[in-house]
Amino acid sequence: MQKLKNRVAVITGGTSGMALATAKLFVEEGADVFITGRRHAQLHEAVEAIGRNVIGVQGDAGNLADLDRLYETVNAKAGRIDVLFASAGAAGVAPLGEITEDHFDEIFRINVPGTLFTVQKALPLLSDDASIIMTGSMLNAKGFPATSVYSASKAALRSFARTWTVDLKARNIRVNVLSPGSIDTPLFATVPQRVQDDFVSLIPRGTIGRPQEIATAALFLACGDSSYVTGTELFVDGGVAQI
């Protein structure tokens, strides 16, 4: 039986990697899916790759006007949201002493207020038993060089999950953070090989994660299988943050 049959899902930043794999799985499990992306060509390619039951809406999760346009489209086409996966994010490294204002502003703009307003602006459309999932990172629980700004931005999402769970409890809306570790995505491929090798060496199973492994965890948080799970952080990192 399809776990998301007749459900409506919105996935921001859904044009590549983990979010694209999740969109594909959600459609396979019966959902009608809306995805967003900043680049028109990449968004078109993602919609083509998913193939059915998907609508792409171009936009930047850190831009409030773009978010308004996204939800106007969702309202017109579907009228509600059952699963909101706030997956759009920005990453970057800079050691303490070399952090610039632009570096800080770009990462925080998308990861913190971008996520906050992605959720807040969706509230009128969210079903009373909806699931909200945010993409965190195992880096918010571990100290790695040059990641302080990115790690702090993801730690904010963990705090959001706790407080929003209380804010939304009257509506039975669940809020959770899905925190990946090193995953074989186009973004990870841009990291220098030496750094990639260092990260992989920390994984107890000895191999990097796959986008599909994040997608199945997102499906768990999206569907009724996780009906008693809220306000928490699910690490999908091969155990790196746990040891």
Question: With contact defined as beta carbons under 8 Å apart, do 117 and 67 qualify?
Answer: yes
Contact 12, 87 (CB under 8 A): yes
pLDDT, tens digit, 9 for 90 and up, residues 35-74: 999 999 999 999 999 999 999 999 999 899 999 999 999 9
Whether residue 240 lies inside any domain: the answer is: no
- For 193, the domain range is 8-232
As for how many domains the chain has, the answer is 1
Cβ pair 7, 32 in contact under 8 A:
yes
Residues with catalytic function: 150
Does the residue 190 lie in any domain?
yes
Is 3 inside a domain boundary?
no
Identity (one letter) of the amino acid at 5? K
Q: Per the domain annotation, does 242 fall within a domain?
A: no
**Within-domain flag for 1:** no
**Residue 187 CB contacts under 8 Å (≥ 6 apart), including other chains:** 16, 17, 91
CATH of the domain at 186: 3.40.50.720
Confidence of residue 167 (pLDDT cuts 50, 70, 90): very high
Write phi, then psi, for 9 (nearest 5 degrees): -120, 140
Helix (H), strand (E) at residue 84: strand 81-86
User: What single letter denotes the amino acid at residue 186?
Assistant: P
Q: Is the pLDDT of residue 153 over 80?
A: yes
pLDDT tier, 222 (very low <50, low <70, confident <90, very high otherwise)? very high
* Domain assignment present for 39: yes
Give the least confident one: 10-14, 108-112, 193-197, 216-220.
193-197
- Whether the per-residue pLDDT at 194 is higher than 90: the answer is no
Over residues 2-11, the mean pLDDT reads: 97
pTM: 0.95
86, 134 Cβ separation under 8 angstroms: yes
70-90 pLDDT, tens digit per residue, is 999 999 999 999 999 999 988
Task: Judge whether 238 lies within some domain.
Answer: no
- Read off the tokens for 154: 């993801």
Consecutive H or E run containing 200:
helix 193-201
**84 lies in some domain:** yes
| In the chain, % of residues over pLDDT 90 | 82
pLDDT at 89: 87
